[in-house]
Structure 1
Amino acid sequence: MSKNLYNFVSSLSGYEGIKEACNVDMKDVNITSCKPSILKEGCGDQDFYRNYLIAEKYLTYLRSNVNPRIVENACKYFSYWVYKEMIMEKSYSYSVSELHDIIRQSKNIHICQDYVHNITPEIYLNIKKLIDLHNNFMEVLVGTNSFDCDKAEKLFNLYNGLINTCYLNSDDPFCNGIETIRNGYNETLINAKDCAPYNFLQPFQKRPEKSANTIATAAITAISFASIMTYKFTPLGSWVRHRLSGNKNLRNKLEKEFTAPQNSSEIQDMEYRVPYNPS
């Protein structure tokens, strides 16, 4: 399964065109032709069955007509569309991969096996956000006088609503999808001065660095935990307990030191004594 589900968005119109072609003559579907042995409860839902037939035709088209180089993204679009139209607002227990398997086995259509994704509500919302950005970018480009600055303002506001969800140089696929659109937008509109200030999208913020205090606390906690494990569960611990067997007070003192709370003033002083390394 491909890690980056979101990169089909840049070619969205092409896959939607294939789906629309598969939708021709699908308005009046005879639900009695649905086989309960295949779709079970889905056979009682005409809209669900119609979309199932569209999904069949879509995969059949991919198998016969689509360049192998774009099959991956075409299959990702399939995952998104099946979730949106056949799963999201339905009470059925299907997943995208299950519906794909039903089509593959019943129609002997072997395509998309490596690229089908089980979409979650969170992933779907992220895809929808990217599609909204993408579609607005396309609308900016079809203005009567070079660019549509009203659409540019709308995209500008959409982007700013997402800018705090990602950090600069993130390896998150969703954030990379936003960054791809941002770069394309800026390269296209940078000289469109009549659309300023909406002709440039600011980059993400840098990820905040962890403070020295946080690092010190984590290190001290790890050392204390290791000390407890060494004392209680290793031969060294057994040796220490044996050596202290004749001095109960000293043993109790050592136990308290091993299990002392981590917010003591002594530890806090150690935190502030972390050496400064100029960068």
Structure 2
Amino acid sequence: MGETIYSVVRSFSKYKSIIDGLTSDDITPNRDQCANLFSGSLKEYKGLFSSDKCEKGMKFLSFLKENVHSYKIADGCQYIYHWIYTDVLSKNESTHNIFTFYNNLMEAYDEYDVDTCKNHIEHIKKIIISKLDKLMELYKYFNQISSQIESCSCAKKCATLYNDYLKICHEENDQDFCNELENFKTSYENRVISLVCDDSLPKTLPSVRGNSFIVALTSCIVILSISFISFMLYKFTYLGSMLHARIIKKKIWNYIYKEPHEILYNSNMSNISSENSLYNISYNSTEYS
């Protein structure tokens, strides 16, 4: 299905390993920066963002800038957006509040290291964070699938989540979310094909297009086929000639029937008109005599 605004979720695992691997020695140099941030423009968020998490986030952004040839800054900026939602705000804030918090944090961070994520703000704004989180959960189990039989439970979890999210796709008609599910379907089927599990593990997943696409396509084909066959029968067969002759015959009879009736109707109307004229003359003569 190609790239979507949610495609970045496929690479989130490597960014998660980076931020999870940061030690206290790595984040200590950012302590003063965080203190300054939350005593200034981000003062209202101080209760939401612990010093430890702030320092981790600052170090992660610096890491992205220092390793621009190995990692995509755009992907890293989208990961930190999801990280704020799950690890900082514990999924308790609305999408608007999360984006506002993220945007304010990036603007404050730019005072120390300009433009790390600033160019990607508009793209991130389009992301529905709750759906990004659902896809993140899907890929979390997917990345645990290997060729070993222990992976069967993870694969089953993927199939269950996929079917749950498929309902959301159909209900809310989010094209990017639906397309990313279709991308996942392809990846899943390629990976589980070699798994040896019991029959309860589906080796294929339903398409986001569902049966409605097949029904619509079938209906179009049937309608076109009927139209084509009808045209061919009418144009090139005895049945078509017979129908054509009957239509011509009916038109002739209609004309024959219609013509005398119109003549009779016009004649009657003329007689009525003449009688009315005579009556008017007689009436006028009587009135003035």
**Contact 2:74–2:117 under 8 Å retained in 1:** yes
Distance apart, 1:34 and its partner CA: 4.2
Which residue, out of 139, 155, 164, partners 2:144? 139
In the alignment, the residues of structure 1 paired with residue 155 and residue 179 of structure 2 have an alpha-carbon distance, to the nearest angstrom, of 21
Q: Cα distance 1:30–1:47, how it changes in 2: closer, same or farther (>3 A)?
A: farther
1:200 corresponds in structure 2 to 204
2:15 corresponds in structure 1 to 15
The residue type paired with residue 67 of structure 1 is H
Q: Cα distance 1:38–1:70, how it changes in 2: closer, same or farther (>3 A)?
A: same
In the alignment, the residues of structure 2 paired with residue 11 and residue 189 of structure 1 have an alpha-carbon distance, to the nearest angstrom, of 20
The residue type paired with residue 126 of structure 1 is K
In the alignment, the residues of structure 2 paired with residue 185 and residue 103 of structure 1 have an alpha-carbon distance, to the nearest angstrom, of 38
In the alignment, the residues of structure 2 paired with residue 58 and residue 69 of structure 1 have an alpha-carbon distance, to the nearest angstrom, of 12
In the alignment, the residues of structure 2 paired with residue 197 and residue 135 of structure 1 have an alpha-carbon distance, to the nearest angstrom, of 21
In the alignment, the residues of structure 2 paired with residue 102 and residue 134 of structure 1 have an alpha-carbon distance, to the nearest angstrom, of 32
Q: Cα distance 1:10–1:32, how it changes in 2: closer, same or farther (>3 A)?
A: closer
Which residue, out of 130, 155, 160, partners 2:158? 155
In the alignment, the residues of structure 2 paired with residue 95 and residue 201 of structure 1 have an alpha-carbon distance, to the nearest angstrom, of 37
Q: SS of the counterpart of 1:162?
A: helix
Distance apart, 1:49 and its partner CA: 3.4
Distance apart, 1:31 and its partner CA: 11
Which residue, out of 110, 133, 151, partners 1:128? 133
Q: SS of the counterpart of 1:107?
A: coil
**Contact 2:64–2:71 under 8 Å retained in 1:** no
Ranked by relative contact order (alpha carbons within 8 Å, sequence separation 6 or more), the top structure is 2
1:233 corresponds in structure 2 to none
2:187 maps to 1:187: no
**Contact 1:97–1:118 under 8 Å retained in 2:** no
**Contact 1:152–1:195 under 8 Å retained in 2:** no
The unaligned stretches of length 5 or more in structure 1 are 212-275
1:61 corresponds in structure 2 to 63
1:110 corresponds in structure 2 to 115
In the alignment, the residues of structure 2 paired with residue 109 and residue 20 of structure 1 have an alpha-carbon distance, to the nearest angstrom, of 24
Query: TM-score of the superposition, structure 1-length normalised?
Result: 0.60
2:282 corresponds in structure 1 to none
Distance apart, 1:61 and its partner CA: 0.9
2:38 maps to 1:24: no
The residue type paired with residue 77 of structure 1 is Y
Distance apart, 1:157 and its partner CA: 1.5
1:99 corresponds in structure 2 to 105
Following superposition, which runs of at least 4 residues in structure 1 exceed 4 angstroms of deviation?
29-32, 90-94, 206-209
**Contact 2:4–2:179 under 8 Å retained in 1:** no
In the alignment, the residues of structure 1 paired with residue 136 and residue 71 of structure 2 have an alpha-carbon distance, to the nearest angstrom, of 22
Distance apart, 1:207 and its partner CA: 4.7
Percent identity for Structure 1 against Structure 2: 21
CA displacement 1:147-186 (0-9 Å, x = unmatched): 622222222211121223336xx87221122111110110
Q: SS of the counterpart of 1:166?
A: helix
The residue type paired with residue 14 of structure 1 is K
2:74 maps to 1:72: yes
In the alignment, the residues of structure 1 paired with residue 14 and residue 180 of structure 2 have an alpha-carbon distance, to the nearest angstrom, of 18
Distance apart, 1:4 and its partner CA: 3.9
In the alignment, the residues of structure 2 paired with residue 32 and residue 182 of structure 1 have an alpha-carbon distance, to the nearest angstrom, of 42
Distance apart, 1:46 and its partner CA: 7.8
- Structure number with larger C-alpha Rg: 2
Let me know the Cα RMSD of the aligned residues: 3.6
In the alignment, the residues of structure 2 paired with residue 142 and residue 135 of structure 1 have an alpha-carbon distance, to the nearest angstrom, of 16
Distance apart, 1:201 and its partner CA: 1.4
Count how many residue pairs are aligned between Structure 1 and Structure 2.
204
1:249 corresponds in structure 2 to none
**Contact 2:147–2:194 under 8 Å retained in 1:** no
In the alignment, the residues of structure 2 paired with residue 101 and residue 206 of structure 1 have an alpha-carbon distance, to the nearest angstrom, of 47
**Contact 2:65–2:116 under 8 Å retained in 1:** yes
CA displacement 1:210-242 (0-9 Å, x = unmatched): x9xxxxxxxxxxxxxxxxxxxxxxxxxxxxxxx
